[in-house]
Amino acid sequence: MTQTSENVTWLTQEAYDQLKAELEHLSGPARAEIVAKIEEARQEGDLKENAGYHAAREDQGKLELRIRQLTQLLQHAKVGEAPADNGVVAPGMVVTIAFDGDPDDTLKFLLGSREYVSSELETYSPQSPLGAGVNGKKIGEDASYELPNGRKASVRILDAKPHSG
C-alpha cells in the first residue's frame, strides 16, 4: 500500500527513538503495573462499587489507546535527516511568520508532528491549515490558508531554520 504524504509522519531519528522507547515502556512495565492494580482491586470484592477497580480499568483504557496511537504513528513514520537550512519551510523547521505582513504581529512555531512537541514552541502539523499553507514556501514569500470559519488568512514567511532540539 502506498502511503500518501497525509498518512506519513516525518520524524528525526531522535524523535523516533524517543517515541519507540515510550511505546516499549507502555507495552511492557506500564501495562504489567495496570494489570496488577486491576487484579488487586478485583480481590477487594464487589466490582460495582469498587472505585479502585474502575479507576484502574479507566487507566488501562487510556494506556491501550496511547499504545495504539504510538504503534500506528511509528508504523507510518519516515525517519529522515533534519531539513536543509536553505530558507524553505519544511517539517522539522522553526518558522516565524507575520500575519497579514504585519512585522509586529508574528508567531514562531515548530512545523512537525504533534507527537513530538517542543516545550518552548507551539507545534503545527504539516497537515494543519497553517502548516499546509506555509510548507514549501521560502523566506519572504506570502502564504494563505483557510481559517475554521471558512475565511482566508495570509501570512509572510519571516524565517525558517531547522529545529535544533
Each residue's pLDDT tens digit in the chain (165 positions)?
Answer: 223 345 567 677 777 888 899 999 999 999 999 999 999 888 887 777 888 888 999 999 999 999 998 998 888 887 776 677 888 998 888 999 999 867 788 999 988 876 655 557 788 888 899 999 999 999 999 999 998 899 999 999 999 998 765
Burial bucket for residue 89 (CB in 10 Å: 0-12, 13-18, 19+)? buried
Q: How far, CA to CA in Å, does 23 sit from each of 7, 27, 64, 127?
A: 19, 6, 10, 24
| Annotation: CATH topology of 9-79 | Helix Hairpins (1.10.287)
pLDDT at 165: 58
The answer for 12, left when phi > 0, alpha when psi is -120 to 50, beta otherwise, is: beta
Q: Which CATH architecture has domain 93-162?
A: Roll (3.10)
pLDDT at 4: 36
pTM, to two decimals: 0.59
- The ranges assigned to domains in the chain are 9-79, 93-162
Q: Which residue carries 488568512 as its cell?
A: 153
